[in-house]
Amino acid sequence: MNVLHALIFGIVEGITEFLPISSTGHLMLTAKILQISQSEFVKSFEIAIQLGAILSVVVLYWQRLVRGYEIWKRLFVAFIPAAVIGAVLYKTIKRHLMGSNNVVLWALFLGGLFLIVFELIYREKEGAAKDLMGISYPQALIIGLFQSMAMIPGVSRAAATIIGGLVVGLKRKTIVEFSFLLAIPTMLAATALDLFKSANVFKPEQFVLLGEGFLVSFAVAIIAIKFLLAFIKRHNFISFGIYRMIVALAFWLIVK
């Protein structure tokens, strides 16, 4: 991996982290297109640069985070399932799921199909929560369980949490913002765990690549967040489902 690769990865991460199309899946497919092998460093890089995108959430929502003790309690409840499952299955996920293009492509395709079908049958519930404080603790826990599905590369953490939020009765804007905020503890924990286990084998120049990817993903993610908030005011997620299926099919037919 070189500086140009790190730049491309940072752009891809920034665009895809908060959209329901799987940032991890896109990073793995990007590595395949660039003919970069899934080494331990590349796998860790794909996890660590997500912190740049997470920082964009902190910057955009810092006032709410500073004053939102009640919101933090709900985020903590939603974070618990991923924390437990991730700690138990860390080695299995990194060794057998990350790096498997077949897993990513099937997850992208089936996840896209599910998004389309879900949107076609979904009807917003009366009394759907209009703000973050309207999320109950049981709802937060269920959203967290949905998020845990995203440990399978290609599923999409954003898609899983958004679908979970709609299922338990939240407004689109509410669950999208909750998904943004839930990324903070989830990805911080995932990156900290990975770096703790892997950083000792990194070379000094590889930390420079990590820093570049981090900064680029931060800048691009701010644009992506604002785009999604504007998008959901008038649209559902069917277009993202179609996109996921097209990407999976194109990769199967052209690249793989």
Q: Is the pLDDT of residue 90 over 60?
A: yes
| Residue with more model confidence, 198 or 146 | 146
The pLDDT value given to residue 200: 66
Question: Between helices 172-198 and 204-231, what is the axis angle to 10°?
Answer: 170
| Residue with more model confidence, 129 or 6 | 6
* pLDDT single digits (tens) 176-235: 999 999 999 888 887 777 767 666 666 777 778 888 888 999 999 999 999 999 999 899
The pLDDT value given to residue 154: 87
Q: Is the pLDDT of residue 111 over 90?
A: yes
Number of structural domains the chain divides into: 1
What is the token pair recorded at 13?
């991460």
The pLDDT value given to residue 94: 65
Asked if 254 and 202 count as a contact pair (C-beta separation under 8 A), the reply is no
Percentage with pLDDT > 90 across the chain: 48
Of 70-79, 202-211, 243-252, which range is least confident?
202-211
* pLDDT single digits (tens) 22-41: 888 898 888 888 888 777 77
Three-state secondary structure readout of the chain: CCHHHHHHHHHHHHHHCCCCCCHHHHHHHHHHHCCCCCCHHHHHHHHHCHHHHHHHHHHHCHHHHHHCHHHHHHHHHHHHHHHHHHHHHHHHHHHHHCCCHHHHHHHHHHHHHHHHHHHHHCCCCCCCECCHHHCCHHHHHHHHHHHHHHHCCCCCHHHHHHHHHHHHCECHHHHHHHHHHHHHHHHHHHHHHHHHHHHHHCCHHHHHHHHHHHHHHHHHHHHHHHHHHHHCCCCCCHHHHHHHHHHHHHHHHHHC
What range defines the domain where residue 189 resides? 3-255
| Residue with more model confidence, 24 or 143 | 143
The pLDDT value given to residue 99: 65
Mean pLDDT on 146-156? 89
The pLDDT value given to residue 96: 62
> Given pLDDT bands bounded at 50, 70 and 90, which one contains residue 12?
very high
Q: Is the pLDDT of residue 256 over 60?
A: no
Q: Is the pLDDT of residue 75 over 90?
A: yes
